[in-house]
Amino acid sequence: MKKVLIKVPGTSANLGVGFDALGLALDLYNEYLFEESDEYELVNFLDDYKEDNLVLASYKRVFEVLGEEEIKVRITEVKEDIPVSRGLGSSAACIVAGVVGANNMLGNILDINALIDIATSIEGHPDNVLPCFLGGLTSGFISGGEVYYTNYDISKDLFFTILVPNFPLETKVARNALPEKIDFKDAMDNLAKAVNLPIMIASGDFIGIKKAIRGAIHEKYRYPLITGAEKILYEVTDENHVVLISGAGPSLLVISDIDDEIRISNENFKVIKVKANKKGVEIK
């Protein structure tokens, strides 16, 4: 009977101006063990995940897409360090684990691009899925159902901290807060910054990052949904630190050019220093 352990990193999507396109991988991990079995079984998952388990649904999707007969598995959640519903890519991690697990059971018949396409079709956008697969910083878009992307290194001169609140925010709610139309000038400003930002992150140009990262197309609509976040933004932002909403929120991501410990007065947010992950998904 086949078995495989899949390790998937958490991710922080958007990076301000890179809405639905940019994301980076973090050294926070979930691990799932897939073991061929006579019946489908989920072990160690929290109860509320059993009904509509995203790892299992994503696993099954691969068989459905390929028209292959399902190979039943027992899936054990060995480790869950990525906070759920906190804008740190926990859904993408489940999806990537599921599709990679299925591909492994099938003898690795799909290449990584095919897996990225399937995972993105489940998630809806590639900004968490891509860095979860590839590690580092990624930018991607969907065209004709396929994902096109670029993968960048992240400068070793940049440091990352996540501020994770003790309350969740559903992505659907955060997306519903966005306007249907945005101002043309805001769109142009965002575009010009977004095309520069990945190279600045790769090269560690922190002065450029501070200018390029801040756009007007989504964060301002979301801060009101995250109690205390705007105060933290003003408290932490300075010459050496920029604060962003991580993904759809409610966590915040701080990027810094100094390796320090961030302190905030709001006790509802946990301060976690993280490193960028370079490897993406790992199969053990």
Check residue 13 for interaction with ligand HSE (CB under 6 A). Answer: yes
Check residue 20 for interaction with ligand HSE (CB under 6 A). Answer: yes
Stretch that binds ligand HSE, among 36-44, 98-106, 171-179, 234-242 (CB under 6 A): 171-179
Q: Which residue is nearest to ligand HSE (CB)?
A: 248
Nearest residue (CB) to ligand HSE, 113 versus 176: 176
Among 11, 14, 30, 121, binds ligand HSE (CB under 6 A): 14
Stretch that binds ligand HSE, among 13-21, 114-122, 257-265, 271-279 (CB under 6 A): 13-21
**# residues contacting ligand HSE (CB under 6 A):** 12
Check residue 88 for interaction with ligand HSE (CB under 6 A). Answer: no
Q: Which residues pair with 30 in a beta bridge?
A: 8, 80
Q: How far apart are CA 224 and CA 230, in angstroms?
A: 8
Q: How far apart are CA 97 and CA 118, in angstroms?
A: 12
Nearest residue (CB) to ligand HSE, 127 versus 257: 127
Stretch that binds ligand HSE, among 55-63, 69-77, 168-176, 207-215 (CB under 6 A): 168-176
Check residue 175 for interaction with ligand HSE (CB under 6 A). Answer: yes
Site for ligand HSE in 90-149 (CB under 6 A): 125, 127-128
Check residue 22 for interaction with ligand HSE (CB under 6 A). Answer: no
Q: What is the DSSP string of the chain?
A: --EEEEEEEEEEE-TTT-TTTEEEEEEEEEEEEEEE-SS-EEES--GGGTTT-HHHHHHHHHHHHHTPPP--EEEEEEEE-SPTTSSSSHHHHHHHHHHHHHHHHTTS-S-HHHHHHHHHHHHSSSTTHHHHHH-SEEEEEEETTEEEEEEE---TT-EEEEEEESS---HHHHHHTS-SS--HHHHHHHHHHHHHHHHHHHHT-HHHHHHHS--SSSHHHHGGGSTTHHHHHHHH-BTTEEEEE-TTSSSEEEEESS------S-TTEEEEEE-B-SS-SEE-
Check residue 77 for interaction with ligand HSE (CB under 6 A). Answer: no
To ligand HSE, the closest distance from the beta carbon of 100 in angstroms equals: 19
Among 171, 190, 251, 277, binds ligand HSE (CB under 6 A): 171
Q: Which two tokens stand for residue 253?
A: 């991501």
To ligand HSE, the closest distance from the beta carbon of 248 in angstroms equals: 4
Nearest residue (CB) to ligand HSE, 110 versus 213: 213
To ligand HSE, the closest distance from the beta carbon of 23 in angstroms equals: 8
Nearest residue (CB) to ligand HSE, 19 versus 34: 19
Q: How far is CA 31 from CA 45, 55, 58, 250, in A?
A: 12, 11, 15, 23
Site for ligand HSE in 227-266 (CB under 6 A): 247-248
Query: What is the contact surface with ligand HSE in residues (CB under 6 A)?
Result: 13-14, 19-20, 125, 127-128, 171, 174-175, 247-248
